[in-house]
Amino acid sequence: MSFENDFAYTATQFEVVLGVFTLTAAVFAAVLVYSLATAGSIAPRYRLTSYLTGVVMVSAFFELGLLALRWNNAFSWDGSLYVQVGDLFSNGFRYMNWSIDVPVLLTQLLIVAGITGAAFRKRWASFVVAGLAMIWTGYIGQFDEIQGGASFWIWGAISTVFYIWLLYVAWQTIRDARANAPTPTIERLFSAVWILFIVSWTIYPLAYLMPQISATVEGVVARNLIYSFADIASKAVYGILLAVIAQKLSAVRGYQPAIEAEEAFAEQTG
């Protein structure tokens, strides 16, 4: 059971969490429109990244919408506090959503980094295996998050081993992308991808630990806010950043719609 169900919330705490869930879902809907609308200015060899952002946005939109409903149905106002009644709130849904989004986000990285052929297949396989193993071992561990017993720590540790493997392959990929970057700006943007990646992804294991760091109402509220921060950074901001890089790469390689889009942007922003 998620530790969210262990507490009663003030009206403010309850609403802040619900509001942030709703905001996060709205951000995903907005970025869905953005990524589909800008796909045409990206050369065909990179364009899949825009559609994959679309996939991530749809799946994450539903997940956050569902979490908002679960949160709303799990607690009821008793005149002074929101207390647990009815459905249990569950963070397990997040893990199901990651099972789709993690492999897709990593595939986008390979596409924009320009990895092809045997190297693509090998890294893709490593990403999918490491990513799913990381998520599903963590999923088992999180059922024990309130007790914080052996299952929580052992599965969490196994999951972390897979995470380190995944990070290593991501680092290799970004290193290659930087080495092959045709302009210094694109090279810098790939460095930004790495920073965004490492910061936003590493928040998730911290959120996993939260019931052990602070088993309080504030801990619950903080955990759900940082989950949303990480979700927006690792899915939406990341998707936009990859689209920007893909458009720049397309322009450098002479793709006319990308060149025109870059020119229009330069004119507008002076």
| Spatial CB neighbours of 189, under 8 Å, sequence gap ≥ 6 | 241, 244, 245, 248
**And the tokens for 75?**
């607690």
At CA 114, angle to CA 167 and CA 164, rounded to 5? 5
The verdict on 194 binding ligand RET (CB under 6 A) reads no
With CB atoms as reference, the residue minimizing the distance to ligand RET is 138
Closer by beta carbon to ligand RET, 81 or else 100: 100
Q: What does the per-residue mask of binding to ligand RET show for 46-85, with x meaning CB under 6 A?
A: ----------------------------------------
Place of tokens 């999918």: 128
Kindly give, in sequence order, each residue whose CB lies less than 8 Å from that of residue 64, ignoring residues fewer than 6 positions away: 21, 22, 24, 25, 28, 228, 231
Among 46, 7, 45, 26, smallest CA distance to 220 is for 7
Would you give the DSSP letter of residue 88? Answer: P
User: 114, 148, 205, 219: which one contacts ligand RET (CB under 6 A)?
Assistant: 205
- Binding region for ligand RET (CB under 6 A) out of 98-106, 218-226, 239-247, 259-267: 98-106
Shortest gap between Cβ of 49 and ligand RET (angstroms)?
A: 15
| Distances from the Cα of 138 to the Cα of 142, 153, 259, angstroms | 6, 10, 44
Cβ atoms 114, 252 nearer than 8 A: no
Binding to ligand RET by CB under 6 A, coded x per residue (else -) over 163-182, reads x-------------------
Candidate residues 4, 49, 101, 152; the one interacting with ligand RET per rule CB under 6 A: 101
For ligand RET, the closer of residues 17 and 239 by Cβ is 239
Q: Which helix (H) or strand (E) holds 77?
A: strand 75-77
Given the complex with ligand RET, which of 23 and 252 has the nearer CB atom?
Answer: 23
Site string for ligand RET, 235-254 (x = CB under 6 A): x-------------------
Binding residues for ligand RET (CB under 6 A): 98, 101-102, 134-135, 138, 156, 159-160, 163, 201, 204-205, 208, 234-235
